[in-house]
Amino acid sequence: MNNVLHVAQNWADQDSDIETKNELQTLIDNNNVEELTARFSGRLQFGTAGLRGPLQAGSMGMNRVLVAQAAAGLAKFLLERNAAPSIVIGYDARKNSDIFAKDTAEIMQGMGVNAQIMPDFRPTPVLAYAVRKLNASAGVMVTASHNPPEDNGYKVFLGDEDDGAQIVPPNDALIAKQIEWVAANQKVDELPRSNDYGTIHQNVIDDYIQKSAAVYQAKIDDELKYVYTAMHGIGTQTLLQTLEQIGFPKPILVDEQCTPDGSFPTVSFPNPEEAGALDLAIAKAKEVGAEFIVANDPDADRLAVAVADDAGEWATLHGNEVGLYLAWHIAKKAQAEGKKGVLACSLVSSPALAKVAKATGLEHKETLTGFKWIGRLPNLIFGYEEALGYLVNPDCAHDKDGISAIICFLDLINDLKSEGKTLAQSFKAYRQEFTKTFGALVSDQISVRVEDLERINRILATVRNEPFTNMADFTVESYVDHLKTEKDNNILVFYLAGGHRVIFRPSGTEPKLKIYLDTAGETLAQAKLAIEAIKQDLEQYLENIA
């Protein structure tokens, strides 16, 4: 028998999921070596946010065999670190998320790791909080966040000395090594299992809600009219409970998107960053005369904000803009209270955060991409990533949190409105004051989605071999290849004359290359002209690399 056929048959024989078992058996029976080779060309690896991939049979997909191997490998890792380890497990509303969570709980409990599972769908930040609240050795959140509906994922947090942060090297490699041992030496249908795992008590969820509600400090405007969408995810219930705790008026819901549905029927891509993702929310806002829109991604660890301009045209704010406004809001409060600490962002986020930190007497730190780095910084007051991730309450969890970020944004909004102006007037004045204080800054991104991952490598190799000397009309003043720095990461940074910056970075969760653009100017108009010129130049450049 061809080796890949043998590997596939061994996998199918262990699979307790009828759908993926039959899917694989059909490929074997049809002798579809090409497809089977693709399915078993490697294993899903821990990336920026743990395991993530398509729901399909084989070692390159998310399925019950792979999840069981991952659970057993993680259990072995935890048992080596701790004589009596524990784990908490959460899950979203995607296909098989509850099944993967239950498999993980049964295997953990069977192997000697005390396991507790969430009583129902809850956002990723609730699970991250539970790791710390319950002093668990680890946490698993079964979610693919904002990925397409055909994907699922397995996000891992570690307790003990990691204090509830996401996994980082060398632990990711150590866990992967244990998973590989399990895959090579144990059949998953022979792994010990137990149904004696527990359920995370409601008081843990209630504590998270109370801590998130405590972020709000402003006077409440009972007449505030705003729209919320959960993007078919699991944020609605927790957000509404948090607002009720505050006594804050509820948002007007986008009904079609506020009930969990893993098929994401009303969006082509369930990511609030994507064009068109907020179309229904904008239509609802226009219909009811709302002042702004807040949105979570499907696992509610991100926040998107949309506002209308003077002409009534709605637009989603860039993640850097929201991050900087929240940072300034939080930093001014810290300054008034005499608090010292850190404002942090990933290196692909706006360099303006350093200016905010300096102006308010706080420290600024820049990390590699991912809240697995930001969340573990000591003395953190606020952290963010331009990809709509914000940590406004570091005492609660060490991960981005779309629920408490909404509460913080509402706190900012009502602080502004307390000055007696309309929201549109107040927000416009806040933007102008920020620009006057820190300069005009504009951010954008080019996202190159690929089917052939080698295209990303070809683009980066081309840029490395012949680095840009100018982009549009701007001279490149310096260039940094972070494979050659202490960061040891596949990131290329170009600093241009005029205070502009361009960064090339492959996504850690999706098959795409991200190019981050940040420009500066005396006015927003100047910064926008610069970013459009640089973007157009880069898009033409990319067209020539197949």
Which residues are annotated as catalytic?
Answer: 145
Cα 109 to Cα 114: distance, rounded to the nearest angstrom: 5
| Residue where the block lists tokens 């078993």 | 40
97 with 260: CB under 8 angstroms? Answer: no
Cα 287 to Cα 218: distance, rounded to the nearest angstrom: 28
Peptide bond into 170 cis (omega under 30): yes
Query: 292-296 and 226-229 as β-strands: parallel, antiparallel, unpaired?
Result: parallel
Residue 159's nearest CA partner among 140, 135, 127 is 135
Q: What are phi and psi of 294, to 5 degrees?
A: -120, 145
Cα 159 to Cα 141: distance, rounded to the nearest angstrom: 14
For residue 64, what are the contacts with CB-CB under 8 A and spacing of at least 6? Answer: 15, 16, 17, 20, 96, 99, 100, 103, 188
The residues pairing with 221 across neighbouring beta strands, listed in sequence order, are none
Spacing of C-alpha 350 from chain mean position: 17
Residue 262 DSSP SS3: coil
546 with 455: CB under 8 angstroms? Answer: yes
Does an H or E element contain 346, and which? strand 342-346
| Residue where the block lists tokens 């058996």 | 25
For residue 83, what are the contacts with CB-CB under 8 A and spacing of at least 6? Answer: none
Residue 439's nearest CA partner among 531, 307, 351 is 351
Residue 155's nearest CA partner among 113, 94, 215, 203 is 94
Query: 303-308 and 292-296 as β-strands: parallel, antiparallel, unpaired?
Result: antiparallel
Sign, CA dihedral 348-159-145-202, equals negative
